[in-house]
Amino acid sequence: MDRKSKFLTTQNPRSSRVLGIEKGKSKLVSLEEGSADLDEAEVWKRFEEAGLLDESKLRWKDREALVERIHELEKELYDYQYHMGLLLIEKEKQASEYEEMRQALAEADGIFNKEQTTHMIAIAEFEKREENFQKALMAEKQCIEDLKVQKLLGDLKLSLDSKNQEFELELDKKRNSFEEDLKEKLDDLERVGVG
């Protein structure tokens, strides 16, 4: 890899200026204010003094940068794994809570269905009892009507018996009276016929 063709930045150890060079340009690009333009040879000399042209130093710096980047990535990976673990724990907790809620809902649904069935049975029993009460009421009303009729019939029978007794007494009186009249007339006829 050609190190000269890249845009490089470095800090000059002698001055605290940041220097840079671009491919195909012969001027030094200074990233610090107040620097003057330098020719290409001066730039390369400064790069060499800073150790930017020594390949072993660059490899070592690249390796250090790579190790630092690996450490950063490992730290980032650890953070991701930590947060993923937290998310998995939260997911398990929510799944557990969801399962508890689902079971509670299933139990509540079972209790509701059981109570609804019990309610329907109670309604059916109530309707059956009401129907039986209606029948009993109708039978009682019929009994009351029958009792009234029987009482009326009893009263009529008593009245009839009373009148029948009166009629029989009157009939007996009239028969006795008739028999006596008849006997007197027969006695009168016998006296007339004997005499």
Residue 93: domain span: 55-154
* Domain limit, last residue, from 14, 32, 53: 53
Quote the number of domains for the chain. Answer: 2
Pairing of strands 29-30, 18-21: antiparallel
In a domain, 59, yes or no: yes
Higher pLDDT, residue 48 or 167: 167
Same structural domain, 5 and 65: no
Would residue 194 count as lying in a domain? no
144 & 59 share domain? yes
- Please indicate, yes or no, whether residues 60 and 144 belong to a single structural domain of this protein: yes
One domain for residues 97 and 41: no
Token duo for residue 62: 């690249």
Give domain status of residue 162, yes or no. no
pLDDT of residue 103: 95
The arithmetic mean of pLDDT across residues 37-52, rounded, is 76
Is 1 a residue whose pLDDT tops 90?
no
pLDDT tens digit sequence for 167-179: 888 888 888 888 8
Query: What is the per-residue pLDDT for 195?
Result: 56
What pLDDT does residue 32 have? 43
Q: Which of the four pLDDT bands, split at 50, 70 and 90, describes residue 12?
A: very low
Record the pTM: 0.38
pLDDT digits 0-9 by tens, 60-117: 888 999 999 999 999 999 999 999 999 999 999 999 999 999 999 999 999 999 999 9
18 domain-assigned = yes
Q: What is the rounded average pLDDT of the residues 26-43?
A: 55
What is the pLDDT, as a whole number, of residue 191? 81
Burial 66-92 (b: 16+ CB within 10 A, else e): eeeeeeeeeeeeeeeeeeeeeeeeeee
Nearest of 104, 81, 100 to residue 92 by alpha carbon: 100
Most confident of 32-41, 125-134, 172-181: 125-134
Across 30-34, 56-60, 188-192, least confident range:
30-34
Gap between the Cα atoms of 22 and 193, Å rounded: 193
Residue 172 lies in a domain: no
Mean pLDDT of 119-137: 94
d(CA 86, CA 138): 76
More confident residue, 79 or 12: 79
Give the model confidence (pLDDT) of 140-190 as tens digits: 999 999 989 988 888 888 888 888 888 888 888 888 888 888 888 888 888
- C-alpha 127/C-alpha 134 separation (Å) is 10
pLDDT class for 37, splitting at 50, 70, 90?
A: low
